[in-house]
């Protein structure tokens, strides 16, 4: 693992690191914020999964999460959204290929050799981080924005033993039923739609739910609402009687202005679960 940068931040350290990923078959970069408490021993961690076109850097520099994580004594991890490199498959569209991994393990050509973001985010990177930094692997929460909100919800509901809490900002809630999902799942997972259901938050909510607290925020002025389909998740949660805070925030759009506005709420939400 190579240290690309480390900066003093709210009493802690914001670092950026690069390592060779076996899961993705390329070098991967991630951001990690460690609060001051990490000097004395392992601290809880909140994973932040970013959205389409993003790298590790977007949320790290725009979301304002470090201030609130420092107040709560929580580490933050900002993974990349896809594999990178000259030999990694890509597409001219912004919503497929590099920057658009959708947090799945691709099975189809030309994506399968590198696009294994599920394994990377749920296994390889957590193992690397907990081995090299003062992170408590028994106290983990996960959140994300847009495509990353999709990833956070699907990962938490599939692996509830790993995460005590899950939240999402404007998540893609029903990818099997919308254009942000059908195209990507067909490319990455093939034409058998039965394989797509494992990566649909609304279908997983109806089937499994989550044995813990859930928080979802979406803006009423989000210009991607028809692609996000938040009503499908709300309906599934209500039918299941899942404990959930589902909030439609009046006037907010899809941007990081929205994310940063409600970041304090989300970090505090996870802190309550991680320290309980």
**Active site includes 254?**
yes
CB-based contact 171:142 (threshold 8 Å): no
**Active site includes 222?**
yes
Q: How many CB atoms lie within 10 A of CB 215?
A: 21
Looking at the DSSP assignment, which residues form a beta bridge with residue 142?
A: 47, 166
CB-based contact 152:47 (threshold 8 Å): yes
The active-site residue out of 167, 217, 222, 266 is 222
Give the separation between CA 78 and CA 238, rounded to whole angstroms: 31
Is residue 198 classed exposed, middle or buried when 0-12, 13-18 and 19+ CB atoms within 10 A define those classes?
middle
Q: What is the DSSP letter of 42?
A: -
Is residue 20 classed exposed, middle or buried when 0-12, 13-18 and 19+ CB atoms within 10 A define those classes?
exposed
**Active site includes 167?**
no
The active-site residue out of 50, 82, 146, 167 is 146
The active-site residue out of 114, 145, 254, 270 is 254
In this structure, what token pair is assigned to residue 63?
């979301």
Which positions are catalytic? 146, 222, 254
């Amino acid at each position: 693992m190579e240290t690309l940068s480390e900066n003093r931040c709210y009493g802690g350290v914001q670092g950026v690191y690069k390592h060779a990923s076996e899961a993705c078959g390329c070098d991967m970069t991630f951001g990690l914020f460690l609060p001051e408490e990490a000097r004395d021993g392992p601290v809880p961690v909140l994973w932040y999964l970013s959205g389409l076109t993003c790298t590790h850097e977007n949320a790290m520099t725009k979301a304002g999460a470090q201030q609130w994580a420092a107040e709560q004594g929580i580490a933050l991890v900002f993974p990349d959204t896809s594999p990178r490199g000259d030999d990694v498959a890509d597409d001219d569209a912004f919503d497929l290929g590099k920057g658009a991994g959708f947090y799945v393990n691709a099975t189809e050509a030309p994506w399968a050799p590198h696009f294994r973001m599920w394994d990377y985010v749920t296994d390889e990177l957590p193992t690397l981080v907990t081995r090299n930094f003062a992170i408590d692997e028994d106290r983990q929460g996960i959140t994300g924005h847009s495509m990353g909100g999709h990833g956070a919800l699907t990962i938490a509901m599939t692996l509830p033993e790993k995460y005590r809490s899950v939240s999402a900002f404007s998540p893609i809630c029903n990818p099997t039923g919308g254009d942000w999902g059908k195209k990507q799942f067909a490319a990455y997972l093939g034409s058998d739609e039965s394989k797509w259901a494992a990566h649909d938050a609304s279908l997983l909510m109806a089937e499994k739910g989550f044995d813990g607290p859930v928080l979802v925020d979406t803006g009423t002025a989000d210009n991607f609402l028809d692609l996000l389909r938040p009503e499908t998740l709300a309906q599934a949660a209500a039918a299941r009687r899942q404990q959930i805070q589902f909030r439609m925030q009046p006037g907010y759009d899809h941007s990081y202005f929205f994310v940063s506005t409600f970041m304090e709420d989300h970090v505090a939400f996870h802190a309550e679960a991680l320290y309980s």
